Amino acid sequence: MRAFAPLVALLGILAPLPALAGPPACTLDRLGGDQRGPATALVRIGERIFLATGGAVEIVDVVDPASPLPRGYVDVETFVTDLAVEGSLAAAVGPNGLSTVDVSDPDHPVRLGALPFASNQWPELALTAGAAYLAPWPGGIGVVDLGDPSAPLLAGVYPLAAADLVVRADRLYAVRFDGVTVIDISDPLAPQHIATATPGGSGIAISGNGERLATWFRCDPRHDCGTVRFYNLADPDLPILRSSVYDGNRTPTAVSMSGGRAYVAYEPGPGDIFDLPNPASPALIGHFEVDWGTALASTADFLFVSDFYAGLDVHDVVPASGAHRIARHETPDSAVGGFVHAGYAFAVWNDQVRVYDLAAPTGPVQVGRYPAPQGEGFTSASALGGVAYLVTYPAGFRVFDARDPLSPAWGDRFDVGEFQPEMRLAGRRLVASDGVVTLFDLATPTAPLPLGVWDERLISPVELIGYNLFGVEHVEGGPLLGLDFTDPAAPQLLFELPGFGESWGLVATGKGLIAGARTANAALFDAFAPGGPVLVANFPIPLGGSIGGAWNGSQLQLSINGGFVTAVHQVWDAGNPAQPVLQLSSPALASAEETFSGPGVLGLAQGMAGVEFYDSCSPFVDGFESGDTSAWSLLVP
């Protein structure tokens, strides 16, 4: 067996290409999206719930609490970690920035403006007329001027380190571990210190009537436990600690107070209901069902819970001892992939598939939703001619027949190995590998037929070109292996190239190119060169992300569409494989867990922030869009 020493030497160098003379030739134009995802926060204003769901803000009417009625939603283009509402203005904050939303029309909320963050921040949010407050924030509490809601502006920083915030009238209450600070915001852009009471916590809430304050914190980062503290606010400038409740097995995550009661969500659940006629002696009077309550709102009769794993739950809490859930408005889990077929996009979440009409004049519109079969969840998707193969956990894959886009149907499930397999398609063949490789025939796309198994060595990632399979042995410093599956019952080892290892990702095209990548470099190989793969080009990968936006442990995932390679927030034209040319650079790509494409559209699966759709723009004609690789210079032997 040939050692291919020259290739190994090249792999150790991987010199970057010369810098481009000009800017990238294309920018992405956003067509629309559906960024709904896990429920992370809520605000109740009268008979209306404002729900933070993934990367969107959704409005739900609860005039009849037993029948929540979804109204409208708006994408805010960042995963939302906190939400606040003041009048007809909502503000949503996430790691990438703050967005303002006009909610005056509940059926058509409109994103007004945004304040991007220079680096990822995870602040909590409080809102008053004309200003928003962010904490934790570099240097203290960030003060945002909302005089023009369409152009939020960071006006300054109030010098107080804080973990969470809440507003009541012209007072801002900021909590940190050692105290609660009361701040005068009569002038919203010029906060003034009033007093600090001890002790504090890491989260804070205030009752609807403003008479009580609660803080909570996790007592030990190594396991679940925590304390909730209740304060009297008879004097709004002087919180007085009245009592505390300790739990040695659960971590408090949210508190709501109304009607003389306190509702406390814990992780893990259930939640607790306390009677507070005498705040000095809270009495446990009931429980409510919750998995991970991210926020609570309550009335005298009902409790509203944003449950990260479920959505918006409504509980009847009268009597407290018989509290029970009466309604649920479900929200999706994380978007993991997708595919495009016959003018429709199929976005795959962990728990469902949603179908979008790409021809709608106002942008992609959802026209169907298909929950995962009972007990299943998905981690990725591959498709061929409208038939998709969805990787399920803990192992195997499920067929999804979308050849009729408006009447798709679930097919059979196939168990493969012990773990979630990596899947690749080539012509009418499918390979699934969880280290052990299984090859399927797709002559009947909805009924994959197992052809053969290769388990002599564990290989992952893998790629398939024709009957040739390429894979990296799953050991540190492992080699790149080539296997001939012409006879599926007796695969033959073609070559073995040392020096790759687990940190490599692989992706291939039908014209005989393999792209490989690790932390700072990507490389293109001629897979059918005489004697084994030969390096033909390499280029740098932007730091701070992964290939195609997705990490799988230390393994990097690549994306090739036609003659274009997606690498973190860049797209490279490899029409001449020896000299890839940068065509596109967009931050939107950097946050994508997976990319998928079709004629005229690029889909981004953004994990917990749902999906987005972009115009794939002119450089991608007959390449990126259609998958046509006829212009590639390498020939299949």
In tens, the pLDDT along 260-313 reads 999 999 999 999 999 998 889 999 999 999 999 999 999 999 999 999 989 999
Tokens for 381, please give them. 């998707």
**Ranges of CATH 2.130.10.10 domains, the chain:** 201-331
Inter-CA distances, 80 with 74, 132, 382, Å? 12, 15, 29
Position 470 pLDDT exceeds 90 = no
What does pLDDT average to over the chain? 84
Measured CA distances, 191 to 188, 232, 627 (Å): 6, 23, 57
Reply yes or no: is the peptide bond before residue 270 cis, omega within 30 of 0.
yes
- What pLDDT does 560 receive? 57
Per the CATH hierarchy, to which homologous superfamily does domain 201-331 belong? YVTN repeat-like/Quinoprotein amine dehydrogenase (2.130.10.10)
Contact 603, 611 (CB under 8 A): yes
Q: Is residue 552 over pLDDT 70?
A: no
User: Among the listed ranges 81-95, 174-188, 426-440, which one has the minimum average pLDDT value?
Assistant: 426-440
Q: Which of left, alpha, beta for 104 (phi over 0: left; psi -120 to 50: alpha)? A: alpha
The SS3 call for residue 563 is coil
pLDDT digits (tens, 9 = 90+) for 322-368: 999 999 999 999 999 999 999 999 999 999 999 999 988 788 999 99
Lowest mean pLDDT among 20-24, 35-39, 55-59: 20-24
Section 376-403 average pLDDT:
92
Q: pLDDT tens, 490-510?
A: 888 888 877 665 555 666 554
| The pLDDT of residue 514 | 66
pLDDT reported for residue 105: 98
Q: How far, in Å, CA of 421 to CA of 437, rounded?
A: 9
Cα–Cα distance, 525 to 558 (Å, whole number)? 14
Helix (H, G, I), strand (E, B) or coil at 621: coil
Is the pLDDT higher at 107 or at 636?
107
* pLDDT > 50? residue 15: no
State the pLDDT confidence band at 630, using cuts at 50, 70 and 90.
very low
d(CA 497, CA 76): 46
Confidence grade of residue 220 (pLDDT, cut at 50, 70, 90): confident
The predicted structure's pLDDT at residue 557? 43
Q: What span, in angstroms and rounded, lies between the C-alpha atoms of 29 and 48? A: 33
**Cα separations (Å) of 190 from 89, 158, 193?**
21, 8, 10
Q: Assess whether pLDDT exceeds 80 at residue 231.
A: yes
pLDDT, one tens digit per residue, over 568-586 is: 566 777 666 667 777 777 6
> Which is more confident, 16 or 439?
439
Among 10-19, 49-58, 206-215, 437-446, the least confident range: 10-19
Lowest mean pLDDT segment, chosen from 24-28, 279-283, 513-517, 624-628: 624-628
| Length of the chain as a residue count | 637
Q: Return the pLDDT at 600.
A: 72
The reported pLDDT for the residue numbered 488 is 87
Give the model confidence (pLDDT) of 119-161 as tens digits.
778 899 999 999 999 999 999 999 999 999 999 999 999 999 9
pLDDT for 69: 98
